Structure 1
Amino acid sequence: MKIRKLAVALLLAVAAAGCDNPFDNDQFQREELARARALWAREGGPSYTFTVELQCYCAAGTSLAPVLVTVKNGQPVSRIYEKANAADPSVAASAEVFGPYDTVDELFEVIEDAIDRDANVLQVGYDDAKGFPEIINVAVKGGASNDQRIVFISDFALTPAS
């Protein structure tokens, strides 16, 4: 009886080796990314605003307060802290810190890079209507133990191109 169970288990393992792995996270992430990019191509636009919030240990001495990003014709034109002080209501956020997250295409690139690098952690949530990423949680392999980044996108709005 034990030998038969072992033989069946071995046959199932051999048969499964020839099939696609249903738990292949990289393949799943690539398919989701392709689906989201296609939806963005149909439903998105070249000009928009959104708020980006970054949680990480990546910006010592730099504020990680939420930043309002304005994109016109596919190019970021401003990154302003949402809660700037009354004396200066338009404090620009660091391009070095927030630059990789200031267009939808760049957000897609962050995700693709994480897949290509076989990230230890990659969790992405996409907007159902437009396809842009709403949350990205990533920690790359070989990175420092505090190299995890979480990116939140909110208050997204398409704007007329000018």
Structure 2
Amino acid sequence: MRPSIRKFAAAGCVAILAACGDPTGSAGDPAALSRALERWSVQDIDDYRMTIRLQGGMLAGHARITVRDGQTVSVQPLAPDEGMPPRFFEHLDTVDELFEVLIDAHNDDAHRIDVQYHPQLGVPMDVYIDPERNAIDEEHGFKIEVFEIL
């Protein structure tokens, strides 16, 4: 992971923790986010492949993404008939960006954030975000089905 992204993400987590009065409320657990980000950061993993499935809202699809030196080098939709071109994964094609999605959800006071992290690596593996309590079809998330260090 590039040092600048680590600093940005760590600063974002600190801001989340400072802004939250109840870290165990319906908006998820920012302390867990901070711990997971720290676990991921200390791993210093820059080369990996993940299979990610988009979930919720009006979009669904999955792709295999390869990252080298912290940069996305390949996004391969696994079911082209789903109509999900690689650009639909642009904001989710590195682990750093997965953390940014969670940080943004916390900063935007999302109504509900459910997340499961990889216990050793800290990678957000299963995420559901409901930005607004009474809105329809704005829920979204992702699931990492396979994560492989290269």
Aligned residue identity for 2:63: V
* 1:105 paired residue among 92, 96, 111: 96
Correspondence for 2:73: 77
Matches of 2:99 and 2:24 in 1, distance apart? 22
Q: How many residues align?
A: 129
How has the CA–CA distance of structure 1 residues 118 and 94 changed in structure 2, closer, same or farther, with 3 Å as cutoff? same
The 5 Å alignment of 1:10-159 reads 21=22, 23-25=24-26, 29-59=29-59, 64-83=60-79, 93-95=85-87, 97-141=88-132, 144-159=135-150
Matches of 2:74 and 2:121 in 1, distance apart? 22
Matches of 2:126 and 2:43 in 1, distance apart? 19
Aligned residue identity for 2:99: F
C-alpha RMSD over aligned residues: 2.5
Identity of aligned residues (%): 28
The structural deviation recorded for 1:30 is 1.6
CA contact (8 A) 2:54 2:62 kept: yes
Query: Secondary structure of 1:57's partner?
Result: coil
Matches of 1:103 and 1:113 in 2, distance apart? 15
Query: Secondary structure of 1:146's partner?
Result: coil
Correspondence for 1:13: none
Matches of 1:44 and 1:153 in 2, distance apart? 19
Over alpha carbons, which structure has the higher Rg?
1
Structure 2 unaligned regions, length at least 5: 1-20
The structural deviation recorded for 1:158 is 0.9
Structure 1 unaligned regions, length at least 5: 1-19, 86-90
Per-residue Cα deviation, 1:97-155 (whole angstroms, up to 9, x for no partner): 21111110100010011111111110010000100000110011388411101200121
CA contact (8 A) 1:37 1:131 kept: yes
Matches of 1:143 and 1:67 in 2, distance apart? 30
Q: Which runs of 4+ in 1 moved over 2 A?
A: 20-26, 56-59, 82-85, 91-94, 141-144
